[in-house]
Amino acid sequence: MADVVIITGGTKGLGRASVQKWLAEGWSVATCARDEVDIAKLEAEVNTPNLLSQVVDIADEVAVRGFVKRILERWKKVDVLINNASILGPRETIENYSEETWRKVMDVNVNGTFYFVKKVLPSMLEQKQGVIVNVSSGAGVKGSKRWGAYAASKFAVEGLSQVLRSEVIDSGVRVYAFDPGAMQTEMRASAYPSEDPKQHPTPETIANILFDIATVYEPQLGRLTVKEYL
């Protein structure tokens, strides 16, 4: 039986590049995204039985539970969980930040990550092995103006990763917070519209590093940055 990975937010940027990388390496890949059109495009492009894709709002605990249940019914296990899906939100001051938008960003970036960890972790603990990588950001280490809910959410992801790692450290399950740095993605372009994207690595380059972290290396640190590997 092939190894199984879940990659959230698998239709764009690092998520899409990671889906392609894991499939190329012979893995069974489950991925989700919010947009039905994006999921359809991915399925048409990949067209393999090794891909299980579904429209899922990761801020919806019931939807996440159903998706993970479907994965486990099909493949019986999850070896790696990549919590990649996130949204940026507006580059706005806290004073002017919309409460509704704040809740939306936190629901996706923090609660969505928690829901997937919560649903996948029992199977990993039962098999006494697994890897969880929560994709973080430099914005979650040092707060800067106009990063609003995105920064707060990534601080929370860093904290969640530390707590979880301390709880499972002797279980055979490895947990990392991974800061991919700047990439040539739509999210980066939205945050820095005047920036030349070609000065940054492609998502494919970072996806290769992420694959190695999850499957080849066994770093001792709980927080990893892409600069350690480039």
The mean per-residue pLDDT over the stretch 1-7 comes to 91
What is 4-224's CATH topology? Rossmann fold (3.40.50)
Q: What is the average pLDDT value for the chain, to the nearest integer? A: 94
**Any residues with CB less than 8 A from the CB of 31 and at least 6 apart, and which?**
6, 7, 8, 9, 10, 11, 15, 19, 42, 51, 52, 53
pLDDT of residue 1: 66
Residue 222 has pLDDT above 90, yes or no: yes
Could you read off the pLDDT of 128-174 as tens digits, one per residue?
999 999 999 999 999 999 999 999 999 999 999 999 999 999 999 99
Locate the domains of the chain by residue range.
4-224
Tell me, what DSSP letter sits at residue 110?
I
pLDDT of residue 228: 75
Has 229 been annotated as catalytic? Answer: no
pLDDT of residue 127: 97
And the tokens for 44?
Answer: 């048409």
Contact call for residues 67 and 54 (beta carbons, < 8 A): yes
pLDDT band (50, 70, 90) for residue 22 = very high
Which is catalytic among the residues 150, 176, 192, 229? 150
Residue 185 backbone phi and psi in degrees, to 5:
-130, 165
Cα–Cα distance measured from residue 50 to residue 139, given in angstroms and rounded to the nearest whole number: 34
pLDDT of residue 2: 83
pLDDT band (50, 70, 90) for residue 197 = low
pLDDT of residue 95: 97
Could you read off the pLDDT of 32-81 as tens digits, one per residue?
999 999 999 999 999 999 999 999 999 999 999 999 999 999 999 999 99
**Any residues with CB less than 8 A from the CB of 220 and at least 6 apart, and which?**
none
